[in-house]
Amino acid sequence: MPEGPEIWRAADEISNTIANKEIKELFFAFDELKEFEKELVGSKIISVTPRGKAIINAFDNGLNLYSHNQLYGKWMMSENGMQPDTNRSLRVAIKTNDGAAFLYSASEIEMLEADEVESHDYIKKLGPDVVHPETSYEEVLARYQDENFKNRKLATLLLDQGFLSGVGNYLRSEIMFCAKVDPDWRPKDCTEEQLEDLAHYSLELSRRSYKTGGIIIEPELKEALEREGASRKNSRFYAYKRTGKPCYKCGREIKEMKTGGRKIYYCEHRQKSVD
């Protein structure tokens, strides 16, 4: 599933491709949206806003296209208006004279009036957005210190968009790795320093991933790995999907475990204090 950084980059691409340009053609795959195909021709998208793992495309007539990528949804752009070569199922197509945006495979798509956006069931429950530049460290730390969350296992809590929006499976592994926190712990099990580190890395790693196109490790390590001939796949993460490989910090083996039906990756030596 795309996480916050990927959603923000998708929003940037949509905005750069079709925002503030007259719409010439629309396509909606779902019957309940067909009525908007003709209604929105001639209008413009005036803003594209990431909301957690969803995107709001706001039209100049007050309507808002809500889409949640879920597991397999993906926005693709085209400068010439031609549909990309893909086996995915087309859900939405928005075309202008200068380019087009296509949404594939997503199933949660709605049209909302302006006053319905903030009251949407998904949006109204979102916690602070870890990629948003106005989300502060103090705001995120307050979530980790909140009595309402202290007894929940961090490996599960970090996937809850009501806790922090934008964090997903790879970010949770990387945040806990950098903060040296046991994946089995709850906020109440952490020291104050660890909670501060969790807050710090929740923001730093999410924003780094957004700016770099999905690279979590620090630039110096990235450069060193590239000099050694490492591929992009093997020089993105500290722990995520690196099972059996040496930890970049201590050299011990990266391990994996399942929690809530999904894998989490960690360094036993760094995070579980096992020598």
The answer to whether residue 272 is catalytic is: no
- According to DSSP, the residues that pair with 67 across neighbouring strands are 55, 109
For the chain, the straight-line distance linking the first and the last C-alpha, in angstroms and rounded, comes to: 34
Catalytic residue among 5, 6, 51, 53: 53
Contact 63, 111 (CB under 8 A): yes
Give the CA distances from residue 159 to residues 62, 259, 267, in Å, rounded to whole numbers and listed in that order.
32, 11, 20
The answer to whether residue 245 is catalytic is: no
The answer to whether residue 13 is catalytic is: no
The CA distance from 175 to 60, in Å, is: 39
The CA distance from 233 to 172, in Å, is: 18
The answer to whether residue 53 is catalytic is: yes
Catalytic residue among 2, 5, 50, 128: 2
Contact 246, 252 (CB under 8 A): yes
Contact 176, 266 (CB under 8 A): yes
Over the range 84-115, which residues count as b (16 or more CB within 10 Å of their CB) and which as e?
eeeeeebbbbbbbeebbbbbbbbeebbbbeee
The CA distance from 6 to 76, in Å, is: 12
Catalytic residue among 38, 125, 232, 262: 262
Within the chain, where are the H helices? 4-18, 36-39, 137-145, 154-157, 169-178, 192-212, 219-227, 268-272
Catalytic center residues: 2-3, 53, 262
